[in-house]
Every structure is written in C-alpha cells, then in structure tokens.
Chain A
Amino acid sequence: MADLALRDLVKTYDKTQVLHGINLDVQDGEFVVFVGPSGCGKSTTLRLIAGLEEVTSGGIEIGGRVVNNLEPKHRNIAMVFQNYAIYPHMTVRKNIGFGLRSSSAPRAEKDKRIREVAELLGMTDLLDRKPDQLSGGQRQRVAIGRAMVRDPAVFLFDEPLSNLDAQLRTQMRLEIKKLHQRVGSTIIFVTHDQVEAMTMADRIVIMKDGHIQQVGTPSEVYHTPANTFVAQFIGAPAMNMLPGQAVENGAILLKTGDLVKADLPVGTGRQVTLGVRPEDLTDAAAEPFLEGQVALREPLGHETLIYVTTEMGEFIAKADGRRPPEVGATVRLGAEQENLHIFDAETGSALA
C-alpha cells in the first residue's frame, strides 16, 4: 500500500496535448474516482499511472518513489480493464494465477494465494471453469481477482462496470466498495458515470478537456460545485441554470424581472448564473421566483419531476409524488436560499 502523487502531469500525442498539468495527491488507502465526459483525459491519466503510456512531462510518484521510467511490472500496481482482459483459453485458476507468473514464490504459496483471493471474491467453486462458462459479473470478479492476487500498492480500474447491465452494475459497485473496505488498498477508479463516482468514491476528481475541474468528497462536489461544469455534471437530472444580474442587498434579478433573495458577495451589475438543482426547485416554496407552465411530468413514485416552460426556457423542478400539478397548469417555483448556487456568468466559477 502506498500513496500516489501526480505532479504537473502532461501528456501529448503528436501535437495534441491531452493532459495539461494534472496535480493530485492520493492518500494511502483512499478510493479516488476520476470522472468526466469521454475525451476528458481520465483514462489517459490512468494509463500513465499504469505505465502503459509514456509521460510527456511531469512526474508520477507511488509510495514516494518517482516511477516515470519504470516498467508497469515494477510499479507495484494492478489494473482491471473495461473488457476484463481475462484470457478465454485459461481456467479461472490460471487467469487469477497469471498475475503471479513473474513472482518467485514457491508453487504451494501461489496456490494458497489464489485460493485466498477466490474465497474473498466468493468464487472458489468456479476456479476450474473457463471464462465462457461465467456470467458478466463473474468475469468481472476474475479480473479483480487477478489484480488482487499480486497484492499491489495501487489498484487501477478502467471503467470496469461499463459492460455490465444496470442491475449488475449496482451490485458490483457495492462489491468493489466492500472489497475496498476489507482490503484497504489505494484505488484509482475511472468512470464516465457520475452515479458510480458519487456512490463509491472517498474523493472525486472531475475532469474536462485535460484539466481537473474539482477535487473533493462526493458531498463537497455535490453541495459546493466549483464551477458550472461540475454543477451540471454531478447530479441527475442536471442542475437548472438561470441567467441573472446582481443587484442591491446581494439579491439577483432574473431576466424575467423576478427578484431572488441571496447573499451575493459581488457588486451590483455583475452578470451571474443562478444554479438550482431540480430537487431543490419546488412548486411549494415559501418565496417563489419563477413562473411557468408544466410541459411534462415524470412520476418517480416518491416525487414527480415536472418540466416547466418559462420565459427563460425550460427548467426541471420537483413536485409532490401524490398530487403533482396537471400538464398545462401554471406553477410558481422557488428554492431555499441555502440551496442556491451562484456562478460568475463569464468564467463559470462559483461565487457563493
């Protein structure tokens, strides 16, 4: 086990720079999730850490040792691939044992280690099967087993759940998290799914276009997003964004002429974006600031999402699950002051 540090990490393919100086410190035993849209550089970062790609500039430290020029096998890492990369012609036992091929340990000890891992993953009775006799979830477990058997300092997961169906994904998410609690190794997990990121991570790294947008606990990135990108990327459905202008007393004047009470720390006249999550925007607010017609309803049982058409466009709000407003009805929406997110309209950075 070890901590991991990325120092001004830059990666360039030919003339295209895909990572623009990534800095990150990962504590020993931490579960860190890299999340972002495709092409944001999260997988590239992982492959740089693994040693599958060469670093253009900057440094990678694992356990305090710079590993830039070390072969993957000398970095003391293990990786689980999106397509599992388990060998179809080998049994589960051989697949898991493949990670020990280069180890000089005696055979009996290797066998013992394989059995331990199989037991931990609950697949002792599958050891003599071939991959084509396994379900998707079981294959996934074999891939994890092969990574675990070497007892690496850092586990790297490259979108390992993308090939599973929704139900299995939820289940494997839990299993991986439980595994982390039991084994306690450092884990770097790459995904494009913000739900996976939120549910599994100790800390989330949100990336876009080769830059880190925000690093923080799931609660931090959800409740205090650093900018509009993070605000809209984390949480589903995405945060509503309302353009406005700062006026006296820290309030915001929306384009519709409605006034929203807030504690803006900036001077009057500044263009701002008001962010409100759909679950915070309700038709039962004490001081509503937005009026519109219900265009569509999405009943979710405990609540109903309503799509409301206003002068400023369409916004999503939450309504009562039992008695939602009818389609076409006029509703007045508002939110608690503490649930308002205010961003600079130009830079997108959070103001309050």
Chain B
Amino acid sequence: MTRYRNLSIKQKQIVWAYAFLAIPIVFYGVIRFYPTGNAILISFQDWNLLGDRTWTGLDNYAKLFADPTFWKVFKNTFVYLLIGTPVSLVVSFFIAYHLDKTRFMHGFLRMLYFLPFMTSAVAMAWVWRWFYQPVPIGLFNNFLSTFGIPQIAFLNSTTNALPSILAPAVWAGLGFQIIIFMAGLRAIPQSYYEAARIDGVSTWTVLWEITLPLLKPTIVFIVVFSSIGFLRIFDHVFNMTTGNPGGPLNSTKPLVLMIYETAFSSFDMGYAAAQTVVLFLVLLVVSLLQLRILRDR
C-alpha cells in the first residue's frame, strides 16, 4: 500500500486507467481475440470437431478458391452489399429528411419506422416468407392476381430470390438508420438554413451544399455500419430459404450461410475456418476503404 501512496498523481491515474481498461481487455482477449486466433489456426488444419487436428497447410484455401460455389456465394455477398447499402442509405435519408420536417404525429411516425428494428429477424423473415408465397396463400401474389397480373415466383426464382430476401433485410435496418440520420439533421444549426433562405438559394442547393456535407460524419457511420451488416447477412436468408438453404442454385446464399453449412452440416471445420478468414479480410478491407474514401475530401 505504501508503494501506491508514494506514486505521483499522474502515476496513480495511470494505475487506475489500466485497472479499468484491464476488464474489457481480458474479456475481449478470452471471448474475441483467442477464438479469432484459433480460427485462423484451424483454417490451416483439417478437423471434424471430434477427431484430431491435422496440418494441411494451404489446402483449405486452395480448395476454396477452386470451388465454384464459393465464387457464387462471394458474388451474392457483394450483391447484398452493393444493392443493400445504397438503397437503405437513400431510403433512410429520404424518410429522415421528411420526417424531420413533420410536426404532425412525429413521435408516432418515428416509432412506426423504428418498430421493424426491434422485431426479431426470424419472425420478420417468416412473415415476409408468407408474403411471397404463391396464390392462394401469399399476400403479394393474391394482390397481383386481383388485378389479373401473372404470378411472380419471388423465392423460387434464381433472379428474384436475392432481391426478395434483401427487401426485408433493408426494411429491418431502416429504423435504426432513420434515427441516426434524424439525430444528424437535428445537430445542424437552424440558422444555417435561415441564412440560406435569406441568400435565396434553392432547396436543392441547400440539400447538396449544406445538409449533405454537414451530415458526412453521419453518412460515413451509416455506410460502414450497414455494409458490415449486409456482408454478414444470414438470418433473413436462412429463415426464408429453409428446406432449400441458399435458395435455388445457391442464388441467395451469402458467405455466412456457406460457413454455417460447411461447419455444422459437413463438419469440415478447417474449410469453414478458411471461409471465415476470407470473410474477415473482406470486412476489414471494405470498412477501411470506406473510411478512407469517405472521411477526407
């Protein structure tokens, strides 16, 4: 105790800072960093979860890059990302921008938009799955048939299935993004808009030259956040395509679903780990690129 007492104020602060930092560091070390390291290790091994681990070197990766399913899945994952992120960004901004100006039932409307975010993804996926069923069950096809429009095979088509699954995924994330956008919009001082009104610039100019540039930190956050979400998409796909996981001809299968199947259907842990490492690298590169491109300029 005397040793502690003899420390300077600065040194005492450091001791306490590390004491508090130690808790999350240890926690993360055990539940995050150790398994991550282990996964990277397993990706160079052959393991069926019960037997011995045997070294295989780069075999898992070689197999992966030669696997046409992997490239299909890789492409699907990026389709989710490249359609999902811009669409959800534009839609959520559009809603937030207008909701911000609405006084009438503002709180109720905001709650309504936020509701999907609080709903269980599994429940939501199954409800949407029902929407997509053919006549006489599905909501959308029933609606179309009343106008005499031919049936659409939403989930049973190699071209329609992916967008059909993406739609509820985008919808589910909207509430959160709208709230973040609205907070960003609120943070812009009202006098900026008043000054622009006096200067007589168009609403369009105000949007492009004042609102959007000032929202940039918010936009960067949402882009990175939703990109990570779409790259890791799983529960919507899994629940909407049970029975035929990954859709017809793997047309909806994302990387995470492939990892899940390799690991827990085929019990090929080494191969699954190699896929996980690839996913990790993709997430890392995409996030860093986005931060780089969007942050400065």
Q: Is the interface of A mostly helix, strand, loop or mixed?
A: loop
Report the separation of the CA atoms of residues A165 and B216 in the bound assembly, to the nearest whole angstrom: 31
Q: Does B2 contact A (CB under 8 A)?
A: no
Please give the distance in Å from A204's CB to the nearest CB on chain B. Answer: 25
Stretch at the interface among B58-66, B144-152, B196-204, B273-281: B196-204
A146 to B198 alpha-carbon distance, docked (Å) = 11
CB pair A101 B199 closer than 8 Å: yes
Cα A77 to Cα B189 with chains together (Å): 21
Q: Closest residue of chain A to B197, judged by CB?
A: A72
Q: CB-nearest residue of chain B relative to A149?
A: B199
B194 beta carbon closer than 8 Å to chain A: yes
Give the contact-size bracket for chain B: 10 to 19
Assuming A81-B191, A83-B189, A83-B191, is B214 touching A89 (CB within 8 A)?
yes
Size category, A interface: 20 to 34
Contact with B along A48-82 (1 / 0, CB 8 A): 00111000000000000000000111100111011
A70 smallest CB distance to B (angstroms): 11
Specify which of B194, B199, B214 is in contact with A98 (CB 8 Å cutoff). Answer: B199
- CB-CB < 8 A to A78: which residues of B? 198
Closest Cβ–Cβ distance, residue B92 to chain A (whole Å):
22
Are B214 and A102 in contact (CB-based, < 8 A)?
A: no
Knowing A52-B194, A79-B195, A81-B194 touch, does A87 contact B202 (C-beta < 8 A)? no
Contact, CB under 8 Å: B213 / A89: yes
Q: Does B214 lie within 8 Å of A99, measured CB to CB?
A: no
The docked-state distance in angstroms from the alpha carbon of A98 to that of B210 is: 11
> What are the interface flags for B161-197 relative to A under an 8 Å C-beta threshold, 1 for contact and 0 otherwise?
0000000000000000000000000000101101111
Chain A positions 177 through 212: 1 when the CB is less than 8 Å from some CB of chain B, otherwise 0: 000000000000000000000000000000000000
CB distance from B211 to the nearest CB of A (A): 11
**B201→A77 contact, CB < 8 A:** no
Partner of B199, one of A51, A52, A73, A88: A73
Report B's interface with A, CB cutoff 8 A: 189, 191-192, 194-202, 205, 209-210, 213-214, 216
Q: Can you list 28 A-B contacts with CB-CB less than 8 angstroms, sorted by A residue number?
A: A50-B198, A51-B197, A51-B198, A71-B197, A72-B197, A73-B197, A73-B199, A73-B200, A74-B200, A78-B198, A79-B198, A81-B191, A81-B195, A83-B189, A85-B192, A85-B195, A87-B210, A89-B213, A89-B214, A99-B199, A101-B201, A101-B205, A102-B199, A102-B200, A102-B202, A146-B195, A146-B199, A150-B199
Residues of A in contact with B (beta carbons under 8 Å apart): 50-52, 71-74, 77-79, 81-83, 85, 87-90, 98-99, 101-102, 146, 150
